[in-house]
Copies of this chain bind each other. A is one copy, B any other.
Amino acid sequence: MLGFHDHDADFDNLTSCLSILFNLQKSGFNLKIFLYKAMETTKSSTEEEAFEFEVRKLEISDKRKGFVELLQQLTVCDSISDEAFDRRFEEVAEYGDDHLICVVEDRDSGRIIATGSVLIEKKFIRNCGKVGHIEDVVVDSNIRGKHLGRKMIGFLCDHARAMGCYKVILDCSSDNVAFYERCGFKRKEIQMVNYFGS
């Protein structure tokens, strides 16, 4: 089989492309493969990125793909033993769709390059409503300009909406307010914290 890019042909549009492919087919080439490759050239950059970056739920094998090292870019996160990781993974998995940890995998490198999570809270207020709490959002500092943060926030919001939440909330530093505003969020209240001494 011969790949599309192995030819020097200049395909200005799909019509001329198909014409050439038709001639190639008559010459005995495999049309199916060529058509697949040709269709790829008509993809938008978004589609190309969707192919390049997979947004999905965390899998237990993601520890080997740099998931923990990525979290270390966010905050204090010591190395985690395989046993501790697997145990925590199973604990979170027990909550099913009520606690989703999302990752973005770079298909080329096989590395996890972004993550974020959403925890679904079941309330009595708002007609027994639900609220999504977005937590632990981080994008690999080496990957810029791919809108991965926005993709992931979109993924988490879509999940919360599908779970029946009437809102999603998160806490961020003042530096990140503009980013979340671009994602459709608005400032609301003040986060307070009480750290327990060790």
Residues of A at the B interface (CB closer than 8 Å) are 67-68, 71, 74-78, 80, 84-85, 87-88, 91-92, 95, 99, 119, 121-128, 131, 133, 135-136, 157, 160-161, 165-174, 177, 180-181, 183-196
* Chain B residues, CB < 8 A from A119: 119, 121, 133
Nearest-Cβ distance from residue A162 to partner chain B, whole angstroms = 10
If A77-B126, A121-B133, A126-B77 touch, whether A193 touches B171 (CB-CB below 8 Å) is no
> Which 5 A-B pairs rank lowest in CB-CB distance, beginning with the nearest?
A185-B192, A171-B189, A188-B193, A189-B191, A77-B125
Secondary structure dominating the interface of A: mixed
If A119-B121, A122-B88, A169-B171 touch, whether A191 touches B195 (CB-CB below 8 Å) is no
Q: Are A157 and B194 in contact (CB under 8 A)?
A: yes
* Chain B residues, CB < 8 A from A84: 128
Q: Are B190 and A177 in contact (CB under 8 A)?
A: yes
Considering the chains assembled together, what is the distance between the CA atoms of A85 and B166 in angstroms?
A: 18
Considering the chains assembled together, what is the distance between the CA atoms of A80 and B128 in angstroms?
A: 8
* Chain B residues, CB < 8 A from A88: 122-124, 128
Q: Are A187 and B194 in contact (CB under 8 A)?
A: no
Considering the chains assembled together, what is the distance between the CA atoms of A196 and B187 in angstroms?
A: 15
Q: Are A186 and B193 in contact (CB under 8 A)?
A: yes
Q: Are A190 and B167 in contact (CB under 8 A)?
A: no
- Nearest-CB residue, chain B, relative to A169: B193
* Chain B residues, CB < 8 A from A185: 192-194
Q: Are B190 and A187 in contact (CB under 8 A)?
A: yes
Given A160-B196, A169-B192, 4 further pairs, Cβ under 8 A: A77-B126, A78-B127, A169-B193, A189-B191
* Chain B residues, CB < 8 A from A74: 125
Could you pull out 15 A-B pairs where Cβ atoms are within 8 angstroms?
A75-B126, A77-B125, A80-B124, A91-B122, A119-B121, A160-B196, A166-B196, A167-B196, A168-B196, A170-B191, A172-B189, A174-B190, A184-B194, A186-B194, A189-B191
